[in-house]
Amino acid sequence: MPEPFVAYLRVYEPLSSFDAPLREELAAAVERGPVDPFDAGLREQDVWLRSQLAAPPRLLPGETADGAVQGVGDVLVLDPKEVPSAPAATVGPGPLVCPLDLRGRSAAALVGFLGDSELPLRTAALTVPVEQAKVRASAVVSELAGGAVHVLSSTWTVPLPWFVLVDPTERCVFTEPDRRRVCWRVAMADARRRVARAHSIGRQSIGEEGPTRILRETGRWLERFHPHSAVELDYGGLVQLMTSSDLEADTSAEDVHAIVDAMEADDAEEVATRYESLRDFWSEFAARERHN
């Protein structure tokens, strides 16, 4: 089974920054063994499928049949030494942990699905009455009011504003037999600074909607985490769709940063040129989404 065609924006917080008893639960998850980053998408897919194939099926992964929470679940772990940062930025101490937060993320996705889909589709997809699903999923989302999920995901493509967070020159390409991984890592302080600048420029140049709104929401999300955290932009399963030539031709991060600079300089021609390059590169993947 192929890895889901999903890209990720993740936050890794210092384990020591969590309050008890969550800190102890996360430490136990780290001791059991973190998820291999190469397998994160497949692990999420497996946990979700198992929840739906259980008898009786679970509404959300990480729950028992009656909705009780089973624990913190899986985590990813990152060494602060693997995070490039500006001299003024601090990352750590380690280990840095990123809970996959599947229950909360699934609940948020379910709330969106129930709000957007037609009744026949909702009825066919759910194993419990629609109203019961809505109440339970909304309650889980409400539990997140005091915190935030550590992972944002996007199917088939990478939201272009996400590239604002990273240093284009710090791309990491990891290879193992028959598989690859492409990601950027950045100190939280650097990510917040870049998002704030891009949002300010975008608001003055194109207004508060579109990419500027995504930057505003991303900035607010980042503010909910420890300031010494790390942020990771991971192509995830999208790498399966990319040839080596695609990766060599991928200048998305450079183009997005150039667009922000050109907007600040009021250089409309440069903005148009760079946007056309981005559109040409990502249009192939957008087409595959439509075909699926």
Which residues contact residue 239 at a Cβ distance below 8 angstroms, ignoring those fewer than 6 apart?
179, 180, 181, 182, 247
Q: pLDDT value at position 108?
A: 84
Residue with tokens 């040409």: 280
Element (DSSP H or E) covering residue 230: strand 230-234
Q: pLDDT value at position 291?
A: 57
Q: pLDDT value at position 290?
A: 61
- Rounded to an integer, the average pLDDT of 30-38 is 93
For the chain, give the percent of residues with pLDDT over 90: 56
pLDDT digits (tens, 9 = 90+) for 136-189: 888 887 777 566 889 999 988 999 999 999 999 999 999 887 889 999 999 999
Q: Are 99 and 125 in contact (CB under 8 A)?
A: no
pLDDT digits (tens, 9 = 90+) for 218-258: 999 999 999 999 999 999 999 998 988 999 999 999 999 99
Q: Are 75 and 35 in contact (CB under 8 A)?
A: yes
Where does the pLDDT of residue 67 fall: very low under 50, low under 70, confident under 90, or very high at 90 and above? Answer: low
Residue type, 11: V
Nearest Cα to Cα of residue 84 among 205, 198, 218, 190: 190
Where does the pLDDT of residue 104 fall: very low under 50, low under 70, confident under 90, or very high at 90 and above? Answer: confident
Q: pLDDT value at position 145?
A: 59
Q: Above 70 in pLDDT, residue 50?
A: yes
Q: Above 90 in pLDDT, residue 49?
A: no
Where does the pLDDT of residue 107 fall: very low under 50, low under 70, confident under 90, or very high at 90 and above? Answer: confident
Question: Residue 267 gets which letter from DSSP?
Answer: -
Q: Above 90 in pLDDT, residue 106?
A: no
> What torsion, rounded to 10 degrees, do the Cα atoms 201, 214, 10, 194 define?
0
d(CA 44, CA 219) in angstroms, rounded, equals 25
Q: Are 125 and 116 in contact (CB under 8 A)?
A: no
Q: pLDDT value at position 119?
A: 78
Q: Above 80 in pLDDT, residue 10?
A: yes
Q: pLDDT value at position 86?
A: 86
- Rounded to an integer, the average pLDDT of 76-84 is 95
Where does the pLDDT of residue 1 fall: very low under 50, low under 70, confident under 90, or very high at 90 and above? Answer: low
Q: pLDDT value at position 102?
A: 85
Nearest Cα to Cα of residue 185 among 271, 76, 104: 76
Q: pLDDT value at position 148?
A: 82
The answer for 255, left when phi > 0, alpha when psi is -120 to 50, beta otherwise, is alpha
Average pLDDT, the chain: 89
Where does the pLDDT of residue 18 fall: very low under 50, low under 70, confident under 90, or very high at 90 and above? Answer: very high
- Rounded to an integer, the average pLDDT of 82-95 is 91
Name the packing angle between helices 102-116 and 130-143 (round to 10°).
130
Where does the pLDDT of residue 292 fall: very low under 50, low under 70, confident under 90, or very high at 90 and above? Answer: low
